[in-house]
Structure 1
Amino acid sequence: MKARALKAILVAGAALIVAAPAAAETVLITADRMLDVLTGRMVEKPAILVEDGRIRQIGSQLTLKIATDKRVDFPGLTLVPGFIDMHVHLSGDPRIPPMEAQLKTDAYWPILGAVQARRMLDTGFTTVRNVGSGDYADVAIKQVIEDGWLPGPRIVPAGYALGATGGHCDETFYPPSFARTSPGVADGPEALRHKVREVRKYGAEVIKVCATGGVFSRNTEPGQQQLREEELKAIADEAHMWGVKVAAHAHGTAGIKAAIRAGIDTIEHASLIDDEGIRLAKERGAYLSMDIYNTEYTQSEGAKNGVLEDNLRKDREIAEIQREGFRKANAAGVKMVFGSDAGVMPHDMAVNQFAVMARYGMSPLQALRAATSTAAEALGREKDVGAIAVGRYADMVAVAGDPLADVQPLLHAKAVVKGGELVTDRR
């Protein structure tokens, strides 16, 4: 009897262990219209069925009659995919003067970054690629968001940016007595291969490398090439072996072309790109991420925020050249993605770049694709983000007006949905 009773208890316990999991939460999302960015077609009266954060079915409100746990309705509005910003720096703010920033404790920056991440989410950015941060702050922010402690976008972190001794990604504002060197600095192909492995080990999902000088560093000029092509190729080859993509900060003409020839996936800034660089980018399938808005903020607010005149000079000198390069590259059919360099200007202003992209030659659909479907391809995450499509995350932005006629609606999100959850509502 005792054996029989024990067996019954064990069977009952096993049944509890293998009991069916809780039913997946379903959400039905409706709006007046929905933009399919993959085809450029506007869908009238869409009904989007979401299950556990991903889109399971897209139909018509007239025909899709399914009982769901909840509904989210956007009458009078148009749904577009959640935006992707391919070039942000979350753990910083240009309104904090450089000397004041030196007084902040190390733990200040990831906390600030979490605040900035929420601000970007509120303006419609449901995915961001953070291309460089100290102390792996971007990895920490990603973990906090993914664990559900704070709302924010999906983050693709880079950790420390890699670069040459004395280059744009080194610590260039300190005298020798401080002996400050960025942990991402290395010289020579093998040393840089090791750095790729190191930052990946600690959470980097993209490798950021500085191929040229920059605007906001000291003792470097944007046009300077700072890593040899064989060094850039070593970085690209190592990263690709591990299944990781590479983004190259490259303002200068020679550095841009060296990075493209080395097989780097996205070229950041591309300010001084020439006709040969445009041809190479198109031939090799490189993506250009050109931050053509932020100079307006830097030139109007930089001096009062403590930016040195030498840095403001460099920004002025390349600004219009970069914008004309953007126009030419887009007209030539190069793959263009949205990259704002948020952190150089306040993060909630990044969305303003849509207007400048339109001013310099993009149609509204091209600008939106740069921030959605094309950006998802550049990330290698087109199965997850970049379109309102079956199988992808239910990340979307509700806007007023017609985003195919004018980019202005994209600058003023009425509501933001991430993973089927309404996270921002300004209606």
Structure 2
Amino acid sequence: MNVTTSSIRRAFALPVLLLACAAAHAAPVIAVKAAHMVDVRSGALVDNAVVLISGERITAAGANLAIPQGADIIDLGNKTLLPGLIDTHTHITGNPEDAGYSIVAISIPRMALAGARNALTTLRAGFTSIRDVGADGYADIALRDAINNGDVPGPRIAASGPPLGITGGHCDDTMHAPQYKATSLGVADGVDEALKVTRRNIKYGADVIKICATGGVLSFGDDPRTSQYTLEELKAIIGDAHRLGRKAAAHAHGGDGIKLSVLAGIDSIEHGSYIDDEGIKLMKEHKTYLVPTLYLGDWLIENAEAIKLPQPLLDKAKVVLPLARVNIGRAIKAGVPIAFGTDAAVYPHGLNAREFAVLVKLGMTPIQAIRTATLNASDLLGWTDKVGTIEAGKFADLIAVDGEPLKDVKVLERVQWVMKGGAVVK
């Protein structure tokens, strides 16, 4: 077989040409430069920081990295870079004026549209990922999918859909008269009903199963100190969620609800206002995350009149919320794992970062508080391979602030620059 020089040249030229075309169409390398970068693992401040990004992902990060020729450079000057923040307890489709289950109901489509507005506000505040733990009509799931599809801007969302609760409990929020025969979509009594609703939520796209294990503050006729699901019911819900590849979160203020949820295998306790020594011990043993939502205690009481909060709910808030700080302060000092959460919707979206200062006031160092919204939060979501640190392989979710967050966490309330997935959004 004769092989000519020209045929050899042609054989080599085609793959080289294809590679050149692919390179021409590849996303340009982005280099983000800043005076400082917080390494949330070590707690150290990295000077002369450079983060290299290709497409949606970080390819390298560190001090004084060489910047490839032709890279697009974003120079943030004297600012400090951090990973995009994560809020593991939001209600993205709700707003403060909804507190107390207003008799004038909002339609599900209207809630979803309000959620789109709130999602952008949350993203621009530096929270590039959230876990939404309760929305009527699967509105949070629809919003998540719209964001993922590029229809609207917003953070990455792990969504729960309608939370599970007992008839007349904290998450049965319709407040309609009996003749209307209406209950909330997530209401489930007994093991069989609870399993059906759990599976239905997963069918319609839930990433996490939210359970109302105790009474609440912003609900009529119940007591935050009392449990609302039995251990048998909780084991059924949580067991099925885990078997089907989802995590589970329990709204739980009172001691019995906390203990029963932990014993049933819950992944996180939301609020934990009345947590006691036994609850602390169990949560440490089971390595269960506590998601305190503390700043809302300041905002809600100060703004109760403006949002027309019903008096019975305000009366409960004035008792429960100050006690929560005392009890959760003890849990923090005892070493219960903490993930960052705010209950945004009880107060305006975009103020999420005000939670950091409360955590520091209760005994955390600034880096410990920052870890709750980065390392710990990503672990709770099961997203440690995606977000939570500035490292190669992670999504290029970054924020930048003026000042020194390792000395003053309040600078996180004033995020100047936000990138999600390699795209600058603020």
Normalised to the residue count of structure 1, the TM-score between the two structures is: 0.92
State the aligned residue count. 408
Cα deviation code 1:247-284 (max 9, x no counterpart): 00001111001001110000000000001100110000
Mapping of residues 160-171 of structure 1, within 5 Å? 160-171=162-173
Corresponding residue for 2:26? Answer: 23
Match of 1:78 among 69, 80, 95: 80
Cα deviation code 1:128-169 (max 9, x no counterpart): 100010111111111111111221110110001011111111
Distance in 1 (alpha carbons) for counterparts of 2:342 and 2:49: 31
Distance in 2 (alpha carbons) for counterparts of 1:378 and 1:179: 37
Cα deviation code 1:35-54 (max 9, x no counterpart): 11011121111111111111
Corresponding residue for 1:134? Answer: 136
Corresponding residue for 2:61? Answer: 58
Mapping of residues 313-332 of structure 1, within 5 Å? 313-332=315-334
Distance in 1 (alpha carbons) for counterparts of 2:275 and 2:118: 31
Structure 1, 222-231 or 187-196: larger mean CA deviation: 187-196
Corresponding residue for 2:145? Answer: 143
Runs of 4+ in 1 over 4 A off after TM superposition: 96-101
Distance in 1 (alpha carbons) for counterparts of 2:96 and 2:109: 18
Q: How far apart are residue 90 of structure 1 and its match? A: 0.9
Question: Aligned letter for 1:121?
Answer: L
Distance in 2 (alpha carbons) for counterparts of 1:301 and 1:340: 16
Task: Name the SS for the 1:304 alignment partner.
Answer: coil
Q: How far apart are residue 98 of structure 1 and its match? A: 6.5
Mapping of residues 190-339 of structure 1, within 5 Å? 190-339=192-341
Corresponding residue for 1:9? Answer: none
Task: Name the SS for the 1:151 alignment partner.
Answer: coil
Corresponding residue for 1:39? Answer: 42
Q: Which structure 2 segments of 5+ residues have no match?
A: 1-13
Distance 1:165 1:97, change over 3 A: closer
Q: How far apart are residue 417 of structure 1 and its match? A: 1.2
Corresponding residue for 2:4? Answer: none
Paired residues of 2:100 and 2:310 also in contact (CA < 8 A): no
Question: Aligned letter for 1:416?
Answer: V
Q: How far apart are residue 20 of structure 1 and its match? A: 5.0
Q: How far apart are residue 171 of structure 1 and its match? A: 2.7
Structure 1, 349-358 or 112-121: larger mean CA deviation: 349-358
Question: Aligned letter for 2:46?
Answer: V
Distance in 1 (alpha carbons) for counterparts of 2:105 and 2:332: 43
Distance in 2 (alpha carbons) for counterparts of 1:103 and 1:210: 21
Distance in 1 (alpha carbons) for counterparts of 2:101 and 2:280: 39
Task: Name the SS for the 1:336 alignment partner.
Answer: coil
Q: How far apart are residue 67 of structure 1 and its match? A: 2.6
Question: Aligned letter for 1:40?
Answer: G
Question: Aligned letter for 2:206?
Answer: A
Task: Name the SS for the 2:396 alignment partner.
Answer: coil
Mapping of residues 176-195 of structure 1, within 5 Å? 176-195=178-197
Q: Which structure 1 segments of 5+ residues have no match?
A: 1-11
Task: Name the SS for the 1:303 alignment partner.
Answer: coil
Distance in 2 (alpha carbons) for counterparts of 1:303 and 1:86: 28
Distance in 2 (alpha carbons) for counterparts of 1:394 and 1:402: 22
Corresponding residue for 1:7? Answer: none
Task: Name the SS for the 1:150 alignment partner.
Answer: coil
Q: How far apart are residue 329 of structure 1 and its match? A: 1.1
Provide the aligned C-alpha RMSD in A.
1.9
Cα deviation code 1:173-202 (max 9, x no counterpart): 222022221111111123212211110110
Q: How far apart are residue 68 of structure 1 and its match? A: 4.5
Corresponding residue for 1:388? Answer: 390
Taking only the aligned residue pairs, the percentage that are identical comes to 41
Q: How far apart are residue 303 of structure 1 and its match? A: 2.7
Distance in 2 (alpha carbons) for counterparts of 1:68 and 1:376: 33
Distance in 2 (alpha carbons) for counterparts of 1:238 and 1:401: 46
Match of 2:93 among 88, 91, 94: 91
Normalised to the residue count of structure 2, the TM-score between the two structures is: 0.92
Question: Aligned letter for 2:41?
Answer: L
Q: How far apart are residue 96 of structure 1 and its match? A: 5.3
Q: How far apart are residue 302 of structure 1 and its match? A: 1.7
Paired residues of 1:28 and 1:68 also in contact (CA < 8 A): no
Paired residues of 2:217 and 2:320 also in contact (CA < 8 A): no
Match of 1:402 among 401, 404, 415: 404
